Amino acid sequence: MKRILKPFGMLLAFLCTAILTGCDNEESNPLRFDLSVDEDNTVNICFPLAEESGSAGAVTILGGDGSYIAQCDNSAVLKIDMKYSNAFVLYPQSWGEAHVTVTDGTNASIVLKVIVFQNKETLAVAGLDVLITGGEQLTEVQKAALREEARAVMPVKAAGGGYRMIFDNPQDPYSGTLCFYPTEMDKEEEMVKGTFIVNSDRSEENSWYYRFLLEEKEHVLTFAPYDYDRKAVAKTTRTSVLPVVALLEDVTGQIPTSYPGVKVFTQQIIRHLWYL
Q: Which of 84-88, 173-177, 237-241 bottoms out in mean pLDDT, i.e. has the lowest? A: 237-241
In this structure, are 112 and 245 located in the same domain?
Answer: no
Domain that holds residue 194: 120-275
Per DSSP, which regions of the chain are E strands?
A: 32-33, 42-47, 58-62, 68-72, 78-84, 87-92, 96-104, 109-118, 120-133, 162-166, 175-181, 192-198, 209-214, 217-225, 245-250, 263-275
Domain boundary among 76, 102, 118: 118
In this structure, are 139 and 246 located in the same domain?
Answer: yes
Query: In this structure, is residue 73 part of a structural domain?
Result: yes
Give the C-alpha separation, 180 to 192, whole Å.
5
109-118 and 42-47: which strand pairing? parallel
Tens digits of per-residue pLDDT, 102-112? 999 999 999 99
Domain boundary among 98, 118, 138: 118
In this structure, are 160 and 139 located in the same domain?
Answer: yes
Please check the confidence at residue 256 and state whether its pLDDT lies above 70: yes
Tally of structural domains, the chain: 2
Average of per-residue pLDDT values in the chain:
84
In this structure, are 134 and 263 located in the same domain?
Answer: yes
> What local confidence, expressed as pLDDT, does residue 40 receive?
87
> What local confidence, expressed as pLDDT, does residue 2 receive?
34
In this structure, are 47 and 179 located in the same domain?
Answer: no
Q: What angle do CA 117, 118, 119 make, to 5 degrees?
A: 120
In this structure, are 232 and 112 located in the same domain?
Answer: no
In this structure, are 107 and 139 located in the same domain?
Answer: no
> What local confidence, expressed as pLDDT, does residue 171 receive?
79
Tell me, what CATH number does 108's domain have?
2.60.40.1080
Query: In this structure, is residue 190 part of a structural domain?
Result: yes
Tens digits of per-residue pLDDT, 141-176? 999 999 999 999 999 999 999 999 998 887 788 899
Q: Give 27's pLDDT tier (boundaries 50, 70, 90).
A: low
In this structure, are 148 and 237 located in the same domain?
Answer: yes
> What local confidence, expressed as pLDDT, does residue 16 receive?
43
In this structure, are 68 and 137 located in the same domain?
Answer: no
42-47 and 162-166: which strand pairing? unpaired
Query: In this structure, is residue 59 part of a structural domain?
Result: yes
Q: Which of 78-82, 202-206, 229-233 bottoms out in mean pLDDT, i.e. has the lowest? A: 229-233
